Structure 1
Amino acid sequence: MNKTTTRTWDAVEYLDSPEMIREYLKVSFEEGDSEQLMMAIGQVAKAQGISEIAKKANLSRQNLYKALAQGSSPKFETVRKVVEALGCKLGIV
């Protein structure tokens, strides 16, 4: 009998283009769940490199980790900076 092996799905593995990143963040934002959105932002930051995103957002690496930690409530300004460092913009349509 053949054994089937599986591994945990990790979104970071698929966030390899600006289009995929934008779509992933857009869908997460449209769901309306702020924790889900912050998780998605964290996954994109991880895919692009936490240190690089922290630098672009003018945040320390430690503060970025704190802002993206599960259950955190970062300031809107922090979220905006990180989203822009990811190459996206927040908007109201």
Structure 2
Amino acid sequence: MTKTTTTIWDPATHLTTSDDVVAYLEAALQDGDPQLIAAALGDIAKAKGMSQIAREAGLGRESLYKSLSSSGNPELATVLKVISALGLQLHVSATDNAKMAV
């Protein structure tokens, strides 16, 4: 019987282009789970270099690791700083079933 060796899959190693990063974050945002979004931002920050992103966002590296983990709960201000440091922007669009009185 042959032993199967497994390794932990790290999404950060696959986020090599800006298209990869955008698609990954959009998928997390569409899911709507705040913990998944935080973890996705953490994966992207790891791919870009957590120390560099923390410095550009004006945040501590250790606290950023903690905030952007799957169990983290970052404040909106932190999320916005990280998104900016990553060179990304958030955009809003209405869903098909959005009903707004104008």
1:7 is aligned to 7
Give the counterpart letter for 1:82 in structure 2.
V
1:29-71 per-residue CA deviation (whole Å, 9 max, x = no partner) reads 1101111111110011111111000011111212312322333
2:77 is aligned to 77
Q: How many angstroms does 1:5 deviate by?
A: 3.0
Give the counterpart letter for 2:86 in structure 1.
L
**TM-score normalised by L of structure 2:** 0.80
* Aligned mates of 1:92, 1:4 — CA distance in 2: 45
CA-atom RMSD, angstroms? 1.6
1:50 is aligned to 50
* Aligned mates of 2:40, 2:14 — CA distance in 1: 12
1:92 is aligned to 92
Q: How many angstroms does 1:3 deviate by?
A: 4.6
In terms of fraction of residues, the more helix-rich structure is 1
Q: Contact between 2:25 and 2:37, CA under 8 Å: does it hold in 1?
A: yes
Distance 1:9 1:66, change over 3 A: closer
**TM-score normalised by L of structure 1:** 0.87
Bigger radius of gyration, 1 or 2? 2
Runs of 5+ consecutive residues of structure 1 not aligned to the other structure: none
| Equivalent pairs, count | 93
Runs of 5+ consecutive residues of structure 2 not aligned to the other structure: 94-102
SS at 1:89 equivalent: coil
1:34 is aligned to 34
SS at 2:64 equivalent: helix
Q: How many angstroms does 1:4 deviate by?
A: 4.0
